[in-house]
A and B are shown apart, each in its own frame.
Chain A
Amino acid sequence: MCLAIPGKIMSISGNEPFQKIGKVNFGGIIKEVNLVYVPEAKVDDYVIVHVGFAISTLDESEANRVFEYLKEMDELGELDQGDAEN
């Protein structure tokens, strides 16, 4: 049950500590998400959501890591370019 999906916060409502609710957009479908565990989250941030709760804010600066890692491997010659083009 580790199904958690990234979505973008469209709006936030609620002032009480446990009432911070966001409207989060998952590729066009909007769901209400409890933001109590991500007090730092703001509108336009992406959050990772599991069973109606945001469990982290998505660090967008880290989102490209997967691709940068590949680039680093290229630069270190760990990836044979010839094979990659086949």
Chain B
Amino acid sequence: MKTKEFNLTCPIPISQYPNVLLAHGGGGTLMHNLIEKMFMPEFNANEQKIMHDSAELLLDNKRLAFTTDSYVVNPLFFPGGDIGSLSIHGTVNDLSMSGAKPLYLSAGFIIEEGLQMETLWKIVQSMKMAAEISGIKIVTGDTKVVDKGKGDGIFINTAGIGVIEHNLNINPASVKLGDTIIINGDIGRHGIAIMAVREGLEFETSIESDSAPLNDIVMKLINAGIKIHCMRDLTRGGLSSALVEIAQSAKVGINIVEKDILVREDVKGACEILGFDPLYIANEGRFVTFLPEQEVKKALDIISSDKNFSEACIIGKVTEKNPGLVTMKSAIGATRIVDMLSGEQLPRIC
């Protein structure tokens, strides 16, 4: 039996990056390159070769969605959530982005020796509550403990399976010229909530992470017959990275309008002080939807009827101009390119 030739050439140039950097997990160009050049080719990723939030599989003619995500957020507890609730919501949301109904999750724990049992209990309770709210079952898992100093409290991986019961192809390949882009609320809250704890920032009214499950609202849209072309939940790299990925995948131009993108005053204030751009800040309960113009009003009515997403609005359009690029009309009227995040603005954000 012939053994396959083993390729010894590392696709990420060692002369440039001999060590893994934090930015390789930042949601921006470095991470993108790592996945595209090292993981995808080696792991023979799904045949569609379109990078999307979950992989669609055909099992006995049933369309399933399958995804995985790891959670390394620091600090473990923050206003509006914790690593536990994040690990459930994040994976549920990835499944929802193809319009799948999330069913089952696995939970893998890598725990640092010395973590307080009380802390672990709180996290487990939080996961239980998040699972109940989302309507999913955690059916399997794994636990490892590493030496003190070799972990950071706890890391969690969740993998999820959902079933696709509609006929739409909700992914970047379905994006069409003239599509309108809507979002379910303001941006930047999760990243700033995390920063607040890490940096000891004080706010007049505490900023809470927007971490929330999106499966319910997505199901409402699908059951109402909305012809969704594409959805993407915004995590690391923020709104910009999500839109740039879609523009590049779908080979379309995207134009957004700065004054239409909602950012809370205190999030804006934090960004001004810290020198961050809200467009690149992580979110955990926000998603963008690409859909035909005639579906927009109905979709916005449905989304904004949920009290958590009352500020749903239009932020832009898919255009013929500048395919593969995202452009933004600035506050004073000039148009500029919105690029993918380079490096990482905030490490260990989700």
Indicate if A touches B (C-beta under 8 A): yes
Residue interface bits B254-269, CB-to-A below 8 A is 1, else 0: 0000000000111011
The answer to whether B272 has its CB under 8 Å from any CB of chain A is: yes
> Given A3, A23, A29, A49, which contacts B270 in the complex, CB threshold below 8 Å?
A29
What residues of B have a CB within 8 angstroms of the CB of A25 in the complex? 204
B269–A29 touching, CB < 8 Å: yes
A30–B202 touching, CB < 8 Å: yes
Residue interface bits A25-47, CB-to-B below 8 A is 1, else 0: 11111110000000000000000
The answer to whether A70 has its CB under 8 Å from any CB of chain B is: no
Number of interface residues of B (CB under 8 A): 14
The answer to whether A5 has its CB under 8 Å from any CB of chain B is: yes
B265–A28 touching, CB < 8 Å: yes
Closest to B201 in A: A29
What residues of B have a CB within 8 angstroms of the CB of A26 in the complex? 269-270, 272-273
Q: Is the interface of A mostly helix, strand, loop or mixed?
A: strand
The answer to whether B205 has its CB under 8 Å from any CB of chain A is: yes
B273–A29 touching, CB < 8 Å: yes
Q: How far is the CB of A14 from chain B (nearest CB, A)?
A: 17
What residues of A have a CB within 8 angstroms of the CB of B275 in the complex? 3
What residues of B have a CB within 8 angstroms of the CB of A49 in the complex? 273
Closest to A49 in B: B273
A27–B203 touching, CB < 8 Å: no
B205–A28 touching, CB < 8 Å: yes
> Given A3, A5, A30, which contacts B204 in the complex, CB threshold below 8 Å?
A30
Q: How far is the CB of B218 from chain A (nearest CB, A)?
A: 31
> Given A3, A23, A27, A31, which contacts B201 in the complex, CB threshold below 8 Å?
A31
Cα distance, A5 to B268, chains bound together (Å): 12
What residues of B have a CB within 8 angstroms of the CB of A28 in the complex? 203-205, 264-266, 269
Cα distance, A5 to B275, chains bound together (Å): 10
Closest to B268 in A: A27
Q: How far is the CB of B268 from chain A (nearest CB, A)?
A: 6
Query: Which residue, of A25, A28, A29, has the highest number of chain B Cβ atoms within 10 A?
Result: A29
Q: How far is the CB of B70 from chain A (nearest CB, A)?
A: 30
What residues of B have a CB within 8 angstroms of the CB of A29 in the complex? 201-204, 266, 269-270, 273
Q: How far is the CB of B266 from chain A (nearest CB, A)?
A: 3
B203–A30 touching, CB < 8 Å: yes
Cα distance, A37 to B269, chains bound together (Å): 23
Q: How far is the CB of A34 from chain B (nearest CB, A)?
A: 15
Cα distance, A30 to B196, chains bound together (Å): 10
Q: How far is the CB of A32 from chain B (nearest CB, A)?
A: 8
Q: How far is the CB of B210 from chain A (nearest CB, A)?
A: 16
Cα distance, A56 to B273, chains bound together (Å): 16
Cα distance, A30 to B202, chains bound together (Å): 5
> Given B202, B265, B268, which contacts A31 in the complex, CB threshold below 8 Å?
B202
A30-B202, A30-B204 known; A5-B266 Cβ under 8 A: no
Query: Which residue, of B202, B203, B273, B275, has the highest number of chain A Cβ atoms within 10 A?
Result: B273
Cα distance, A3 to B265, chains bound together (Å): 19
Q: How far is the CB of A8 from chain B (nearest CB, A)?
A: 11
What residues of A have a CB within 8 angstroms of the CB of B204 in the complex? 25, 28-30
Q: Which residues of A contact B (CB under 8 A)?
A: 3, 5, 23, 25-31, 49
Interface pairs (15), CB distance under 8 Å: A26-B269, A26-B270, A27-B266, A27-B269, A28-B203, A28-B205, A28-B266, A29-B202, A29-B204, A29-B269, A30-B201, A30-B202, A30-B204, A31-B201, A31-B202
Query: Other than the known A3-B275, A27-B272, A31-B273, what 17 A-B pairs have Cβ atoms closer than 8 Å?
Result: A5-B273, A23-B202, A25-B204, A26-B269, A26-B272, A27-B265, A27-B268, A28-B203, A28-B205, A29-B203, A29-B204, A29-B269, A29-B273, A30-B201, A30-B202, A30-B203, A31-B202
